Structure 1
């Protein structure tokens, strides 16, 4: 199984030095999406702002970035009151 690294770029960048084995790139991207949403949910629960500029990059063992998961692409915020006005 190929090894991928999920590197988090936020206010405290975190590089996934060890990486993890995933079936394929699609599976690694799904984990990055899940992790991104979990991080955003933690901020919401703590009453902290979400920085939509944060991201997770999925890289191979050689450090080549294969995919970028931008937080801003994972969340949609609507305001039904504003839409009704």
Structure 2
């Protein structure tokens, strides 16, 4: 079974490439062997969406803002490595 694909769609009009890149870097650092790839997908209209395969983990339009990194790591961990501790980023 191939490792999951994480996709971050970001708004080019809003210039959110750096935020998307930083998010991708943090997730690849935390889950180096659990993710098959992380893709940055340019979009427009204020989009910032994080998908893991076919599941939307975070959608800025629906959630009303950007994810806290610890929360996003928990959402990814729960799907790709549910038994792993995230240390200080883990929920209490």
- What TM-score, normalized to structure 1? 0.32
- What TM-score, normalized to structure 2? 0.30
Q: Larger Cα Rg: Structure 1 or Structure 2?
A: 1
